[in-house]
């Protein structure tokens, strides 16, 4: 008779306290976050595939949706551009502290412009009263050449009376209409 000897392995029996800690801890927060991200990615992919299938089955819906989204995007860009254009139309002399400082600034400007001063002064008052500024308008109202009107417009921009060029649209005037009389008196005749 042959006897077979059995081998027994001893495995440690966990302590009752270890079992309680393992049950209370549950899955780690990293595992839960990973599972949540995986679920969101699969859901997003499923929705994307469903939308593609719907547009493939009925392509006019995609065309209409593209037109609507494109139009909304263009309108939003237009609104932002308008906000930026009107945000630029502020009083250009807001940082001046007093009348004497403005007179000194205009005297400096008169000296630097020389013979162009009378046309510059008339142009500054004109654009402030009218609240528009364009080379063609200056040429027409002041009866000067195109080159002279461009020169004066560039100087008005450098001195802060008007904003930068906006293509074919008139420039933004940075001085409020209400200050036209004050401007005329400060600039002298």
> Which region holds residue 131: left if phi is over 0, alpha if psi is between -120 and 50, else beta?
left
Number of Cβ within 10 Å of residue 142's Cβ equals 17
This prediction's pTM: 0.50
Residue 162 β-bridge partners: 173
Residue-level pLDDT at 1: 46
- Walk along the chain (189 residues) and give the pLDDT tens digit of each residue: 444 455 554 555 555 544 444 445 555 677 888 888 888 888 888 888 888 787 777 778 777 777 887 788 888 888 887 776 655 544 445 455 577 888 888 888 889 888 889 999 999 999 999 998 899 999 999 999 999 999 999 999 988 889 888 888 878 888 888 888 888 888 875
47-88 tens-digit pLDDT: 888 887 877 777 787 777 778 877 888 888 888 877 766 555
- Whether the CB-CB separation of 128 and 180 falls below 8 Å is answered with yes
Distance CA 27, CA 30 (A): 8
């Amino acid at each position: 008779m042959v006897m077979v000897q059995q081998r027994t392995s001893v495995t440690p029996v966990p302590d009752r306290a270890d079992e309680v800690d393992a049950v209370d801890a549950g899955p780690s927060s990293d595992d839960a976050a990973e599972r949540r991200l995986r679920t969101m990615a699969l859901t997003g992919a499923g929705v994307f595939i469903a939308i593609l299938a719907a547009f493939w089955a009925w392509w006019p819906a995609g065309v209409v949706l593209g037109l609507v989204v494109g139009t909304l995007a263009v309108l939003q860009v237009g609104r932002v551009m308008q906000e930026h254009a009107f945000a630029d139309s502020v009083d250009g002399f807001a940082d001046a502290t007093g009348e004497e400082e403005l007179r000194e600034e205009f005297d400096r400007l008169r000296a630097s412009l020389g013979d162009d001063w009378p046309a510059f002064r008339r142009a500054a008052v004109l654009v402030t009263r009218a609240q528009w500024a364009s080379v063609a308008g200056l040429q027409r109202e002041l009866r000067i050449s195109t080159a002279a009107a461009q020169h004066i417009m560039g100087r008005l921009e450098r001195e802060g009376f008007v904003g930068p060029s906006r293509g074919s649209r008139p420039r933004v005037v940075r001085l409020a209409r209400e200050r036209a009389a004050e401007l005329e008196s400060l600039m002298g005749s």
